[in-house]
Amino acid sequence: MKKVKFIYNPYSGENTIVSGIDKVIKVHQKYGYEVVPFRISFEYSISEAFKGINKTYKYILIAGGDGTIDEAVNVMKKLDLNIPIAILPVGTANDFAKFIGAPEDIEAACEQILNSKPKKLDLGKINDKYFLNVASTGLFTDVSQRTDVNLKNTIGKLAYYIKALEQLPSLRKLKIKVSSENDVFDDYMYLMLIFNGQTAGNLKFAYKAEVDDGMLDVIIIKAGMIKDMISLFIKMFKGEHLEGTEGLVYFKSNRIEIECYEDIVTDIDGERGPDFPLVIECIKGGIEVLGTNIPEKMLLS
């Protein structure tokens, strides 16, 4: 019988997957799959989920948010395990799952996965770590790291926004140098986002991003007057086009280098990222994903 390794985080979101496990098994049995579960917990490292995986396993099914998916992908890359993944978006942040068109309903998502073919999608790499959705630094980028897990699970995304508001009084300019093949930014900024996906916090910032173009979308919010920043953030939150917007830099690149000597951290999909200096690359076709339902305008192939 064909097997699927099912890695799930029971603490993700509002514990949605715990009540949905029977649906996962039911749909997979209908298609002739044996589901082999692994429950993520504080006692067991996610790397243990990959022990014993062989050719009988057709794909890895991951139920969790962006951080859980990144963690699984990093283990797979370390093990040089090249089999497709599929995503059940049950976390507090499911930006990449929404980007690729994964249904929120667990049964519908499983059906979509099992009736699909693997598609090669781009993968971000920051120093020696991989990410699927977004890497960031500057203002607000450690919000997820600082937000209490219980608060996330209780009130979801609202917890992030509450924590972000706490940072406003400490708003300060940050000196950074960002170099790519065609662009150099050597100035003060508030926030920098490097997208492989399109959204952060369910807000579509990188609306030009495509899943298989081999490019990352880089957004830098320059330091400026607070009143100008407020209007810029409103424009971003409304999903309006950002070309020619004063106070903002937006470009595409497959590789950028970042130098910064400020006391700030980096973030990868809600988890602590590496320290500066950074080399961030796009690995074209770096991961195979099942269950995608992506509009043609977001695809090159």
Structural domains present in the chain: 2-116 (3.40.50.10330), 129-284 (2.60.200.40)
8 Å CB contact between 123 and 286? yes
User: Would you state the structure tokens that stand for residue 71, as one six-digit string?
Assistant: 């963690």
CA distance 244 to 112: 39
* Per-residue pLDDT, 301: 56
pTM greater than 0.75 (yes/no): yes
With a CB cutoff of 8 Å and minimum separation 6, the contacts of 162 are none
Question: What is the residue-level pLDDT of the chain in tens, covering all 301 positions?
Answer: 899 999 999 987 767 899 999 999 999 999 999 999 999 988 988 999 999 999 999 999 999 989 999 999 999 999 999 999 999 999 877 999 999 999 999 999 999 999 999 999 999 999 999 999 999 998 766 555 454 544 444 444 444 444 444 555 467 789 999 999 988 999 999 889 999 999 887 778 888 899 999 999 999 989 876 666 667 667 766 666 666 677 889 999 999 999 999 988 899 998 889 999 999 999 999 999 999 998 765 565 5
Distances in Å between the alpha carbon of 31 and those of 102, 118, 206, 207? 19, 17, 37, 36
Nearest to 16 by CA among 106, 144, 107: 106
* Per-residue pLDDT, 173: 87
